[in-house]
C-alpha cells in the first residue's frame, strides 16, 4: 500500500500489510507476554514505561522528523511530540496512586465481605488517526500498558512513517518483547484488530468511529470511541470582541483546523457581527502558509488528500447556496503537489450548507449572525452533540445560562478548548490530569479494566 | 402475536405490535416530557417514584397474578415482586446522596476552574427478558428515571401479561404522562427501540445481547448489556461437602435454573467426587415439581418452549457423548402442555458436550471430576467469561489462589451468588447497594448519564 507525502503529493512510502493469520499468531504470543506484565505489578510497569520514555527521548529527533514528513508540518509536530513526552510522566504519576490499593472493600456487614479487584483486558487494540498521529495513539497506549494490558497499535495509514522509529524504541525494552506492537496497515488491518483483541480504542473522526463500533459489535468486544463533532462558538452582544476574535481564530486554524477540538462555526450576535467579522478577517490575513519554507508561516498543508477534496466540496456547496467568502479562498491551493488552505472566513450562511453541519478538518470559519440567545442555541444544538463549544459573553449569568443549554461535552467560558493548552499549563500539576474525562485521569485507566468481585460469606 | 402459557402450552394471550411510526411519534412526545422531568430535580423525582411505589403496592396482587401466569411459577414470582419493591427504596436512598451536589470541581488552579455536571440521556430504551420479567426491567427503569431520563420499556414477548397492570399504575402518576411507557412487542419492537432512543439497556441471554449490541452500533448509540455466562463451581478436596452440595443444588435449581446467576456445571476433586455426587443426588431427589399444584413443590415449568427444546437437545447430546444421568431425566416432561424438568444430575462428562459450555437455563447440574487445581481452572476458564463462579475449599489460601485465577466477574467463596440473597440480607443497609457493579450503586445511575464540563479561564 503506497502512502502520499502531504507536501509533495508523491506516493513516496510503502507500507506492508500483515495477513490475518500473522496477526492471529501475534495475538496469541502477546496474550502470553501479557500474563507476566500483569503479574509484575504497577511499580515495575511504571519503571518499564520510564525506560521507554528514555528510549523515546534518545530517538526524539528521528521521531519528530518522521512525523514531520507524515504530516507536512513542523511546529505542530514539535508541540505534539513534547505533549506526548510530558503526558507519559503524568500518566505514570497518576497510575502510582490509582493502582494502589489492589483491592477495595465494597461491602462489609455481618453476613458478607466483598472485595473488588480490577483486572486488565489481556489484549487491547488501538487504532489511530492522522490529525495528531502520535498523540492520538499514545494517549491510549500508555494508560493501557500501565493498566497491565498488551497493546497492538495501528496508526493511520496516511501517517505511518513514525512507526518504524517507535518500533526501534520498543525493541530496546526488555519487557516489551511481544507486549507492545505498532503495526502498519489500513482499514482492513483495523478491522482485523477488532477480531483478535479483547477491547478496541479509537480516536478520530465520527465516520470511522461508527464503522469501528459496528465491527466491534460484530465481534462482541467493547469499543472506546473518541470522535470529533462540529465544534461551535457563540459570541454574545456583551462579549470582549478583541479577545473572542483572537481565541476563535486560533481554535479555528491551529494545525490547519485538523483537530477534534477545532472551532468550525461561529454564531455572533447581529449587533456586533460586522465588528467581530472585521477583526477576525484582519487577524486572519496576518497568518501565512508554511510554504515553501516549512519553518515559516502558521498554516501547514492539508494532510489527507481526501480531506482537501471534502474542504473544496463544502466551500463550493456553501458558495452555491449563497455564502460569501470574506477572507481566504474558495478552494485549497495546490503547491507542488501539496494542498494548502488559507484561513478562510465565510458569512451569509444557513444550515442547509454542509459547512455548517459536517466536520471540515480545515482552517475554515463560517461566521453566522443570530438574533437572540434562543436562536443561537437552536443553531448550535442543531448538529448532533458537538464535542466542544465556547461561549463568549460579558456577564457570568449570561454565559452560564447559555452553557447549561448547550448539548456539548465541554463548554469553555470566554475561551477555547484545545487540550494542548491545558497540557501546556499543567506540566507540574497532577490534578490537571482529570480534565479530559474520557482520556485523562481515572477514566484513562478504567476503560482497560474489568471489575472482579470476591464474595466471602461469614 | 400470540403468546404461550407455560403451564398449559396454550397460546391464550395476544400482544399488539406497534408500528415504527407510532413509536417514533411516542419518542418525540417523550423527549418533550423528559425536559420537565430533568428540570424538576432529584427530590421531586424521588417523591414521584415513591408515589409510583404506592401505586404498585395497591396493585401488587394483580401484578403478582399476571406475572404468575407469565412464568407459570408462584413462589419465585412472589420473591421477585418483593425484591423489586424493596429495591425501589434502595435506589431512591442512593440517588438522594448520589445526585448531590449537582456539580463537581475537577480542576482548580491559577489558570482554570473546571466544573463537571452530569446530564441524563433523554430517552432510554430498556429491553427485558423472561427469566425474571419484572425485575430485569425494573432494575434499569428505576435508576434511569431517577437519573432524569424518559424510559420506554419492552419486556419479553414470552412474558407480557404484567405489562397492562404496570401501565395502569403509570397512568395514576401525574409526572409519568409520556415519560414512562411499557410497550408490548417482540424482537422487531426491540430493534425499533434502538432506532428511536439515545441509549439502550438489556438484561438477559448472551445470544440476544450480541444482537442488541450490533443493532445499537448500527444506530450509533451506547448499549448496556448484562448477560449470563455458564456459571461454574469448583469443589476442592478440602471443601465442606455437606454445605457445598446444598448451596450448589440451590444455585442450580432455583427458578428451575432459569437465572443468569445459576450454577450450570460443577467441577469436583476426584477424591471426593463420588461422595459429593451421592449427597447432591440424595438432596435433589427430595425436590418435587410444582405440578399439578402451583403452590406445592420447588420446581416450576420451563417458561420458554424454545428453551425446553434446547434443554432436551443438550441432554441428548451429552448422553450420546457418554454422559450418565444419575438423577432426574433425559428429557423435560410434558404435563398438560407445560414443560417440566426434574433436577437432573449428570456425570462422566467432557467439554465436547454442549451442556458443559453452552448456557442451559434449566435445573441441570453436570458434575465433572478433576485431578488438580490447574485442570479445574482450565476447565472453568474454557468457557468465555462465566458471569459467576463459586469456589468451595477448606483453606483460605487455597480458595484465594483459585479465585484470583478464575476469569469471572464474581467469585463467591464457599457459597453461591444469587442476587436475591443479597437483596434479602440488606433491606436496611445502603452500602450493600454497591455489590453488583453493573446494576446497583453508583454504576446503576452512571450508565444513564453523560458528563458535561464547564471550563472557566481566569
Which of A106, A426, A454 lies nearest to residue B434, judging by beta carbons?
A106
- SS3 labels along A297-338: CCECCCCCHHHHHHHHHHHHHHHHCCCEEEECCCCCEEECCE
B453 near A CB under 8 A:
yes
Interface touch B415/A457, C-beta < 8 Å: yes
- DSSP letters along A233-290, please? EEE-TTS-HHHHHHHHHHHHHGGGG-STT---EEEEETTTHHHHHHHHHHHHTT--B-
- A232-407: CATH number: 3.40.309.10
Interface touch B414/A453, C-beta < 8 Å: no
For position B115, what pLDDT does the model report? 83
Interface touch B107/A435, C-beta < 8 Å: yes
Q: CA-CA distance, A316 to A326, in Å (whole number)?
A: 14
Q: Is B335 exposed, middle or buried (0-12, 13-18, 19+ CB in 10 A)?
A: middle
Exposure b/e, B357-383, CB count within 10 A at least 16 = b? ebbbbbbbbbbbbbeebeebbebbbeb
For position B431, what pLDDT does the model report? 25
**Omega into A403 within 30° of 0, i.e. cis?**
no
- DSSP letters along B375-391, please? HHHHHHHTSS--SEEEE
Q: Residue B227: which H helix or E strand, with range? A: strand B223-227
Q: Is B13 exposed, middle or buried (0-12, 13-18, 19+ CB in 10 A)?
A: middle
pLDDT band at A91 (very low <50, low <70, confident <90, very high): confident
For chain B, first and last CA: distance in Å? 62
Nearest CA in chain B to A403: B454
Using the predicted structure, report yes or no on whether residue A420 has a pLDDT greater than 70: no
How many CB atoms within 10 Å of residue B258?
27
Nearest CA in chain B to A449: B409
B216 contacts in chain A (CB < 8 Å): 217
Interface touch A410/B455, C-beta < 8 Å: yes
Q: Is B428 exposed, middle or buried (0-12, 13-18, 19+ CB in 10 A)?
A: exposed
Domain ranges of chain A: 2-228+421-457, 232-407
pLDDT digits 0-9 by tens, A208-220: 989 999 999 999 8
Q: Tell me the CA distances in angstroms from A367 to A268, A388, B52, B90, one per residue in order.
A: 7, 17, 49, 51
For chain A, first and last CA: distance in Å? 62
**ipTM of this complex:** 0.90
Domain B2-228+422-457 falls in which CATH fold? Aldehyde Dehydrogenase; Chain A, domain 1 (3.40.605)
DSSP secondary structure letter of residue B356: G
Residue of A94, A112, A123, A384 best to disrupt the B interface, most CBs of B under 10 A? A112
For position B154, what pLDDT does the model report? 98
A233 contacts in chain B (CB < 8 Å): none
Count CA atoms closer than 13 A to A167's CA, side-chain side: 15
Nearest CA in chain B to A392: B456
For residues A421 and A83, is the Cβ–Cβ distance under 8 A? no
Which of B116, B404, B429 lies nearest to residue A437, judging by beta carbons?
B116
Q: CA-CA distance, A93 to B145, in Å (whole number)?
A: 38
CA distance B452 to chain A (A): 5
Beta bridge partners of B455: A412, B114
B111 near A CB under 8 A:
yes
A456 near B CB under 8 A:
yes
B216 near A CB under 8 A:
yes
For residues B194 and B165, is the Cβ–Cβ distance under 8 A? no
Cα–chain-centroid distance for residue B426?
18
- Sheet-wide strand order for B223-227: B180-182, B150-154, B123-127, B199-204, B223-227
Which of B213, B410, B457 lies nearest to residue A217, judging by beta carbons?
B213
pLDDT in tens, chain B (458 residues): 999 999 999 999 999 999 999 999 999 999 999 999 999 999 999 999 999 999 999 999 999 999 999 999 999 999 899 989 988 998 898 888 888 767 877 777 777 777 888 889 999 999 999 999 999 999 999 999 999 999 999 999 999 999 999 999 999 999 999 999 999 999 999 999 999 999 899 888 888 989 999 999 999 888 888 887 899 999 999 999 999 999 999 999 999 999 988 999 999 999 999 999 999 999 999 999 999 999 999 999 999 999 999 999 999 999 999 999 999 999 999 999 999 999 999 999 999 999 999 999 999 999 999 999 999 999 999 876 677 899 999 988 899 999 989 988 888 899 887 654 433 222 222 222 233 334 445 556 777 777 777 877 76
Task: List phi, psi (to 5°) of B188.
Answer: -65, -40
B444 near A CB under 8 A:
no
Cα–chain-centroid distance for residue B112?
44
A417 contacts in chain B (CB < 8 Å): 455
For residues A362 and A341, is the Cβ–Cβ distance under 8 A? yes
- DSSP letters along B143-159, please? HHHHHT-EEEEE--TTS
Residue of B438, B441, B453 best to disrupt the A interface, most CBs of A under 10 A? B453
Q: Which of residues 362-401 of A touch B (CB under 8 A)?
A: 400
The CATH class of A2-228+421-457 is alpha beta
B220 contacts in chain A (CB < 8 Å): 210, 213
Size of interface A-B (CB pairs under 8 A): 123
Q: Tell me the CA distances in angstroms from A82 to A85, A88, A167, B458, one per residue in order.
A: 5, 10, 19, 25
Interface touch A411/B216, C-beta < 8 Å: no
Mean pLDDT of chain A: 89
CATH topology agreement for domains A2-228+421-457 and A232-407 = no
B320 near A CB under 8 A:
no
A90 near B CB under 8 A:
no
C-alpha cell at B133: 420479567
How many CB atoms within 10 Å of residue B391?
27
A216 near B CB under 8 A:
yes
Amino acid at each position: 500500500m503506497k502512502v502520499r507525502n502531504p507536501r509533495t503529493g508523491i506516493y513516496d512510502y510503502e507500507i506492508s500489510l500483515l495477513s490475518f493469520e500473522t496477526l492471529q499468531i501475534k495475538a496469541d504470543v502477546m496474550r502470553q507476554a501479557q500474563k507476566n506484565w500483569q503479574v509484575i505489578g504497577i511499580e515495575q510497569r511504571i519503571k518499564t514505561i520510564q525506560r521507554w520514555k528514555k528510549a523515546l527521548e534518545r530517538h526524539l529527533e528521528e521521531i519528530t522528523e518522521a512525523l514531520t514528513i507524515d504530516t507536512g508540518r513542523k511546529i505542530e509536530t514539535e508541540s505534539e511530540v513534547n505533549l506526548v513526552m510530558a503526558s507519559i510522566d503524568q500518566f505514570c504519576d497518576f497510575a502510582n496512586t490509582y493502582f494502589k490499593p489492589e483491592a477495595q472493600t465494597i461491602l462489609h456487614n455481618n453476613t458478607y465481605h466483598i472485595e473488588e479487584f480490577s483486572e486488565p483486558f489481556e489484549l487491547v487494540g488501538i487504532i489511530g488517526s492522522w490529525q495528531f498521529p502520535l498523540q492520538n495513539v499514545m494517549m491510549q497506549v500508555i494508560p493501557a500498558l500501565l493498566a497491565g494490558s498488551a497493546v497492538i497499535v495501528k496508526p493511520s495509514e496516511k501517517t505511518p512513517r513514525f512507526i518504524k522509529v517507535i518500533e526501534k524504541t520498543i525493541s530496546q525494552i526488555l519487557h516489551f518483547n511481544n507486549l507492545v506492537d505498532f503495526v502498519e496497515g489500513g482499514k482492513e488491518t483495523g478491522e482485523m484488530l477488532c477480531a483478535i483483541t479483547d477491547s478496541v480504542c479509537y480516536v478520530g473522526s465520527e465516520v470511522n468511529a461508527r464503522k469501528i463500533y459496528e465491527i466491534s459489535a460484530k465481534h462482541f468486544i467493547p469499543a472506546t470511541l473518541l470522535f470529533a463533532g462540529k465544534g461551535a462558538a457563540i459570541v454574545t452582544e456583551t462579549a470582549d470582541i478583541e479577545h473572542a476574535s483572537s481565541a476563535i481564530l486560533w481554535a479555528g486554524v491551529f494545525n490547519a483546523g485538523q483537530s477534534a477540538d477545532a472551532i468550525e462555526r461561529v454564531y455572533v450576535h447581529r449587533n456586533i457581527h460586522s465588528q467581530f467579522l472585521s477583526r477576525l478577517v484582519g487577524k486572519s490575513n496576518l497568518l501565512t502558509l508554511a510554504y515553501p519554507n516549512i519553518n515559516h508561516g502558521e498554516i501547514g498543508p492539508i494532510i489527507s488528500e481526501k480531506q482537501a477534496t471534502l474542504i473544496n466540496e463544502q466551500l463550493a456547496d456553501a458558495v452555491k447556496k449563497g455564502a460569501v467568502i470574506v477572507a481566504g479562498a474558495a478552494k485549497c491551493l495546490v503547491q507542488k503537489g501539496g494542498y494548502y488552505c488559507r484561513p478562510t472566513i465565510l458569512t451569509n450562511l444557513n444550515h442547509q450548507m454542509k459547512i455548517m453541519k459536517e466536520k471540515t478538518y480545515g482552517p475554515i470559519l463560517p461566521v453566522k449572525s443570530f438574533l437572540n440567545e434562543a436562536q443561537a442555541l437552536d443553531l448550535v444544538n442543531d448538529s448532533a452533540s458537538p464535542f466542544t463549544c465556547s461561549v463568549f459573553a460579558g456577564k457570568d449569568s449570561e454565559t452560564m445560562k447559555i452553557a447549561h443549554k448547550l448539548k456539548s461535552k465541554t463548554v469553555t467560558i470566554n475561551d477555547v478548548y484545545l487540550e494542548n493548552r491545558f497540557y501546556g499549563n499543567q506540566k507540574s500539576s497532577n490534578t490537571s490530569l482529570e480534565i479530559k474525562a474520557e482520556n485523562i485521569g481515572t477514566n484513562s485507566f478504567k476503560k482497560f479494566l474489568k471489575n472482579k468481585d470476591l464474595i466471602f460469606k461469614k
